[in-house]
Each structure stands twice: as C-alpha cells, then as structure tokens.
Amino acid sequence: MNEDKNILRAARERADMSMQEVETRLGRLARDNRRLIPISGERLGRIERGAVGVLPEEVYSLSVVYDDPSLCYQFCAQMCGLGDKIVPRMERREDLCGITCALLGSVREFEEMEKKLTILTRDGQIDRLEQEEFERIMEALERISANVQTMKFWAQTHVKE
C-alpha cells in the first residue's frame, strides 16, 4: 500500500494543496456535480498514509480537484486489483517531444511486425510454435497502448479548451 499513498500524496503535492484545501474545494465542487464526492481532510490523510483503502469515486473526485486526469489511470494501473493486471503502465512525462518520439517509435516497431501478425493469425489460432512470436507482438501493442495513454494524459493536462 506504500506505493498507493505516494501516488495520491504526490498528486496533491503537485496541485500544491493542503488536505484542508482539498476538503474545502471538493466540498464546494461536489455540491454542483453529483459525480464528485466530498472527502474530509482526516479521511484523505488516512488514505494517503495507507490506513484505509481509497474508493474509485474518491480517486475520480481527487483527479478533478487536482486537475490531474492521470490519477484515475494510475489508480486503475497500480491500485486496483484487476487493473494492475490488465492496464499497461504509463510513464508520467512532461516532455512532449519525448512522448511523441516514444509513441512513433512503438508504432514503427509494430509496423515491422504487422506482416508476421497477419501470417500468424490467418488460420484463426495461435499454436505452440507461433506463441513466442505472438507474445512479442502483444508486448509491442502494450507499448503502443502505454504511449498513447501518456500522450492522451499530456494533452488533457496541457491543452485546455
């Protein structure tokens, strides 16, 4: 649970907010938005220390208050029992050029595997001899997915409507 509290505390610190400020602001926002739920400063402290578990609804509410959409993704990828098995890890990066290069590099890597994937899947199944190559292709797709998520969250954080 140590990693969990650090994610939530780090998000609050990036937002430069005290626990009391979170409680006050979230309380105001929750009155106007039924999707948000208020969280007391006391509960937030217990969540950040790992003394109690955090609810998905609380993570969403905190992501709105902190203006940090990546917090929901991090919760799914690292704190949720199911998500940590199926959601690819995303890097939190601020360098748009680096994010773009990583995304394009992963797409190019997959383009090189495209013909192999077509050959492997044309019979509708993957046999034992094909499994290793198929797993490499799936890993390449995971890298694309993680890079797409990184780009999406950079855009949500930096490109305001």
| Strand, helix or coil for residue 7 | helix
The model carries a pTM of: 0.63
**From the CB of residue 147, how many other CB atoms can be counted at a distance below 10 Å?**
23
pLDDT at 103: 92
Euclidean distance between CA atoms 18 and 48, whole angstroms: 12
> Where residue 37 falls among pLDDT bands split at 50, 70, 90?
very high
Euclidean distance between CA atoms 14 and 10, whole angstroms: 6
Compute the average pLDDT of residues 56-76.
Answer: 87
Sign of CA dihedral 111, 114, 116, 120: positive
Euclidean distance between CA atoms 92 and 16, whole angstroms: 18
pLDDT at 90: 62
Angle (deg, nearest 10), helices 128-158 and 96-121: 150
82: DSSP letter:
T
Alpha helices, DSSP H only, in 1-127?
2-14, 19-32, 41-49, 56-65, 70-74, 83-86, 96-121
